[in-house]
Amino acid sequence: MSNLLTTSDEILASALTLIMSGGYNGFSYADIAGVVGIRKASIHHHFPSKVDLVRTLVKQYRKDAEVGVAALEQGVQDPLELLKAYAGHWARCIEDSSRPFCVCALLASELPALPPEIAEEVKAFFRFLSTWLTSVMDRGSREGALNLSSQPRVEAEAFMASVHGAMLSARAYGTPEVFPAILAPTLQRLSPTVAQ
Amino acid sequence: MSNLLTTSDEILASALTLIMSGGYNGFSYADIAGVVGIRKASIHHHFPSKVDLVRTLVKQYRKDAEVGVAALEQGVQDPLELLKAYAGHWARCIEDSSRPFCVCALLASELPALPPEIAEEVKAFFRFLSTWLTSVMDRGSREGALNLSSQPRVEAEAFMASVHGAMLSARAYGTPEVFPAILAPTLQRLSPTVAQ
DNA sequence: CCCTGTCTACCTTCTGGTAGGGAGGCTGTC
DNA sequence: GACAGCCTCCCTACCAGAAGGTAGACAGGG
């Protein structure tokens, strides 16, 4: 049953969980070893250094996000529904505590103290997310499916900031409901059907 | 010349700077000792443990914020101007790199891994900020000085989330201008003079 | 036979923290 | 005024444990 995942996948998965709770400096190889049920030295076989491990992790996290977004766009066309799906994804993650925080958002807060290779990957994630959201905003604006009050780029950045800030608040208050509560008015304002 | 600040103030100040860049686990007593020009052991005289130090720091940070907000409300009455002043404060801090991130926002992201005493102080900061912003939103709504589309409490949380998220983006992109760019449309939307 | 993956054992450096001593300043008492 | 005592602050020296990381051996499979 543990063969469904390779050891290195298990290492990455537990590192993800650990980073999500305490950031880059908040976990150690010993912590991972404890979770995976392996010795510290064995982790070095898969990832020679901590920087290797986290760089791989963030890179894969971004690729997963790219795949997820592509799949989402296959199933959903309406721009507003795309934004709702994105927000909804995080609402569920926060609700069931499975992935209560975006790893890249957390790492971004530690950026100045991060090894440069990792910092670069984190920045790339932000650029990707921003690019995607901008494209959604842009299309929504042209199609009349979104009610924008600024340029698509600015709306995209503002939306992303709301999502990240709402994650932070949900964590600070310890109440998951605060996340959708914060996002709801933002989504409603973007909706063309209730334009004032 | 170094007597303008007591040693313990210097310790707190350098700890503040260090936390702002790398979070709770991103600095050590040795780092502070290096900055202040004192030995590690001497820090323990002022703050017996790291938890003591950071708890004191966050508590003082909140009190400073309370004083700052009280002073601001003395000088500024208009709710919209209060929100602009708050955003402007952070815009300047980010611009000149003096305090490019809110310590409590950063610590909130690490909350699950923080010593409980510190976590409690961080939560108290969020409650304070939220209460103040809610009072501003509420008054603005009643006076017609703000154009709210949701309840004051929700608008306050959304505004706070925008500020925190915008801080994160400014850090991630490494471009300070992104902060005011994100906040501008939010402030404009709250403005009664341009209500649609 | 080699390659992969794990192990034990070990290293160095850093971590927060402690013990104890010395210099200097204040204060009370003779 | 002198001096003892104490208090504050900083020091050197040390500690145990945790950090990331290395070396080398062993087991099993292709």
Shortest alpha-carbon distance between residue A3 and chain B (Å): 30
- Whether residue A186 has pLDDT greater than 80: yes
- For strand D, is any atom closer than 7 Å to the CB of A50? yes
Residue type, A58: V
Domain membership of residue A72 (yes or no) is yes
* List of chain A residues whose C-beta atoms are within 8 Å of the C-beta of residue B24: 26
CATH of the domain at B161: 1.10.357.10
Domain membership of residue A155 (yes or no) is yes
State residue B120's pLDDT score: 97
- The count of other CB atoms within 10 Å of the CB of residue B43 is 22
Domain count, chain B: 2
Domain membership of residue B196 (yes or no) is no
Do B58 and B31 belong to one domain? no
Do A90 and A24 belong to one domain? no
Domain membership of residue B10 (yes or no) is yes
A8 CA, D30 C1': Å apart: 21
Domain membership of residue B127 (yes or no) is yes
- For strand D, is any atom closer than 7 Å to the CB of B45? yes
* List of chain B residues whose C-beta atoms are within 8 Å of the C-beta of residue A164: 161, 164-165, 168-169
- For strand D, is any atom closer than 7 Å to the CB of B4? no
Do B7 and B80 belong to one domain? no
Which nucleotide across the nucleic acid strands is nearest to B51, CA versus C1'?
A: C16
- For strand C, is any atom closer than 7 Å to the CB of B55? no
State residue B5's pLDDT score: 82
- Whether residue A72 has pLDDT greater than 80: yes
For helices A50-75 and A79-95, angle between their N-to-C axes, nearest 10 degrees: 130
Dihedral angle computed from the Cα positions of residues A118, A120, A122 and A127, in that order, rounded to the nearest 10 degrees: -170
Interface test with A, best of B17, B20, B31, B109 (most A CBs within 10 A): B109
State residue B1's pLDDT score: 37
- Whether residue B2 has pLDDT greater than 50: no
Do A38 and A111 belong to one domain? no
Do A91 and A174 belong to one domain? yes
B117 CA, C7 C1': Å apart: 40
Do A84 and A179 belong to one domain? yes
pLDDT tens-digit series, residues A120-164: 999 999 999 999 999 999 999 999 999 999 999 999 999 999 999
Contact yes or no for B110/B44 (Cβ under 8 A)? no
Contact yes or no for A126/B173 (Cβ under 8 A)? yes
Do B61 and B95 belong to one domain? yes
Do B23 and B38 belong to one domain? yes
Q: Do B108 and A171 lie within an 8 Å CB cutoff? A: yes
Which nucleotide across the nucleic acid strands is nearest to A44, CA versus C1'?
A: D21
* Residue A146 to residue B186: CA distance in whole angstroms: 17
Identify the three-state secondary structure at position B98.
coil
Domain membership of residue B17 (yes or no) is yes
Domain membership of residue B154 (yes or no) is yes
Length of chain A: 196
Shortest alpha-carbon distance between residue B82 and chain A (Å): 20
CATH of the domain at A42: 1.10.10.60
Do B41 and B82 belong to one domain? no
Closest chain A residue to B113 measured between Cα atoms?
A22
pLDDT tens-digit series, residues A5-41: 899 999 999 999 999 999 999 999 999 999 999 999 9
pLDDT tens-digit series, residues B64-86: 999 999 999 999 999 999 999 99
Do B82 and B13 belong to one domain? no
Question: Could you list the residue range(s) of the whole structural domain that residue A72 is in?
Answer: 58-190
Do B40 and B128 belong to one domain? no
pLDDT tens-digit series, residues A43-65: 999 999 999 999 999 999 999 99
Domain membership of residue B79 (yes or no) is yes
Do A140 and A89 belong to one domain? yes
